[in-house]
């Protein structure tokens, strides 16, 4: 659904609603054209070509999760829309996020997609400097007239993950590993706990965050993810769900080492397909899909058609923005119960909390 001061629209009307906005600011080609500069219109908005820039979150391309999903949407825009694309990754501590956005804008890329809520302050500042460039930010609300927020109902997809875990658990003991103790990651935990407890009220759930709010290294610490999950498995959990970016690799390693009957649940992408190690793929029971790829592609497509920012787009169960992967056929025996829970959420019979 599209949120703005005039109300809410279903996601299916997004393209139409956005296309009714003011004319687009297309990107320029690499050769012989002026690049965007702060406060100037530049030739980038008139050349008619589509140059899309994407700035990754900490972890960058290759995280087999959040960033890779965003890149898949960028690649789709290249193939289907003829976009010229460029991606940049931040320093390990994320200190140069603003520099990456300016680098893309100065090179004539328009629109520019920032992957992750950690970009919020930088996007707000840079968008004011480059008023003729359109920006999108994943997991953060719009904070400017030329900014589009791409948001997700992570708690809804995580609720289904909790239902699945509770139904498949043999020990009645689950685990949750969050990368950073932020409001966003707490949405994953909240949904997971709610779904599991609604299914089995007496189920036990251990939760562990790898780093405190503001310390984004928790998304790139597989060793910490492994230690956290190992402890949970040793304490009796047989299924551990992670929302920890690249640190989830450690959760998978712990599940594989824990032996038969131990499972992990992936996040964002279908991680049973994205991990290269087959030993790890085999222990991924399902993944909570967060279709960042679709969000990025649809945003670029809408921009190409004339869209401008100043609003948020929310992807939820109703719009297939979140859900569960079925690779490996590990949850087919409980699919009817998962479908029932999904429909109750869509109908409003179940309201999933976004805080634990």
Residuewise pLDDT in 10s, the chain (356 residues): 333 322 333 333 333 333 323 222 333 333 222 223 333 222 333 345 899 999 998 888 887 778 999 999 999 999 999 999 999 999 888 899 999 999 999 999 999 999 999 999 999 999 999 999 999 999 999 999 999 999 999 999 999 999 999 999 999 999 999 999 999 999 999 999 999 999 999 999 999 999 999 999 999 999 999 999 999 999 999 999 999 999 999 999 999 999 999 999 999 989 999 998 999 999 999 999 999 999 999 999 999 999 889 999 999 999 999 999 999 999 999 999 999 999 999 999 999 999 99
H-type alpha helices, 38-171: 66-81, 97-106, 120-129, 154-168
Q: Output the furthest CA–CA distance in the chain (Å, rounded).
A: 66
Burial (CB < 10 A; 0-12, 13-18, 19+), residue 43, is middle
d(CA 350, CA 339) in angstroms, rounded, equals 13
C-beta separation of 295 from 138 below 8 A: yes
pLDDT attached to residue 26: 30
> What integer pLDDT is reported at residue 48 of this predicted model?
56
> CA 355, CA 201: separation in Å to the nearest integer?
18
> Which residue in 285, 279, 247 sits closest to 169, CA to CA?
285
Sequence-separated (6 or more) residues with CB below 8 Å from residue 295 = 73, 138, 150, 152, 313, 315, 321
Q: Does domain 2-152+292-315 have CATH number 3.20.20.70?
A: no
The pLDDT assigned to 60 comes to 82
Residues in the chain: 356
Amino acid 265: pLDDT:
98
Rounded Cα gap, residues 89 and 279, in angstroms: 29
- CA dist 8 and 2 (Å) reads 5
Q: Would you call the peptide bond into 222 cis, given omega within 30 degrees of 0 as the criterion?
A: no
Instruction: Count how many Cα atoms sit within 13 Å of the Cα of residue 230 in the half-sphere of its side chain.
Output: 11
pLDDT of residue 51: 98
User: Would you report the helix, strand and coil content of the chain in percent, each value rounded to 5?
Assistant: 45, 20, 35
Residue 122: partners with Cβ closer than 8 Å, 6 or more residues away: 97, 98, 101, 114
Q: What is the pLDDT of residue 259?
A: 94
What pLDDT, on the 0 to 100 scale, is given for residue 93?
83
Of 135, 73, 75, 145, the C-alpha closest to 100 is 135
CATH 3.40.50.2300 fits domain 154-268+326-347: yes
Cα torsion angle, 75, 277, 57, 117, sign: positive
DSSP run (H or E) holding 213: none
In the numeric block, the tokens 């960028």 are attached to: 74
For the whole model, what pTM was predicted? Answer: 0.80
Question: What residues does CATH 3.40.50.2300 cover in the chain?
Answer: 2-152+292-315, 154-268+326-347
CA distance 252 to 100: 32
């Amino acid at each position: 659904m599209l949120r703005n001061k005039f109300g809410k629209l279903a996601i299916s009307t997004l393209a139409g609603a956005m296309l009714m906005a003011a004319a687009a600011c297309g990107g320029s080609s690499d050769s012989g054209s002026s690049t965007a500069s702060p406060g100037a219109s530049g030739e980038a908005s008139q050349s008619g070509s589509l140059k899309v820039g994407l700035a990754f979150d900490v972890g960058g391309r290759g995280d087999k999760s959040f960033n890779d999903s965003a890149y898949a949407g960028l690649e789709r825009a290249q193939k289907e829309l003829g976009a010229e694309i460029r991606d940049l990754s931040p320093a390990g501590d994320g200190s140069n996020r603003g520099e990456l956005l300016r680098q893309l804008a100065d090179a004539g890329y328009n629109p520019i997609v920032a992957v992750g809520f950690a970009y919020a302050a930088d996007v707000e500042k840079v968008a004011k400097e480059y008023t003729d460039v359109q920006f999108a930010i994943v997991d953060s609300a719009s904070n400017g007239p030329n900014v589009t927020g791409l948001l997700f109902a992570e708690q809804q997809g995580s609720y289904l993950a909790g239902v699945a875990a509770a139904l498949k658990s043999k020990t009645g003991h689950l685990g949750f590993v969050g990368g950073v103790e932020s409001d966003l990651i707490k949405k994953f935990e909240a949904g997971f706990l709610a779904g599991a407890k609604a299914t089995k009220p007496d189920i036990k759930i251990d939760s562990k965050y790898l780093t405190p709010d503001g310390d984004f290294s928790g998304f790139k610490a597989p060793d910490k993810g492994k230690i956290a999950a190992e402890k949970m498995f040793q304490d009796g959990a047989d299924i551990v769900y992670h929302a920890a970016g690249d640190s989830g690799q450690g959760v998978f390693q712990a599940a594989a080492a824990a032996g038969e009957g131990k499972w992990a649940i992936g996040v964002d992408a279908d991680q049973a397909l994205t991990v290269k190690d087959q030993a790890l793929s085999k222990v991924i029971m399902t993944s909570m899909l967060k279709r960042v790829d679709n969000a990025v592609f649809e945003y670029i497509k809408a921009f190409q058609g004339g869209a401008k920012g100043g609003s948020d787009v929310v992807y939820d169960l109703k719009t297939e923005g979140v859900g569960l992967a079925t690779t490996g056929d590990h949850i087919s025996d409980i699919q009817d119960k998962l479908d029932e829970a999904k429909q109750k959420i869509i109908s409003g019979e179940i309201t999933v909390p976004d805080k634990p």
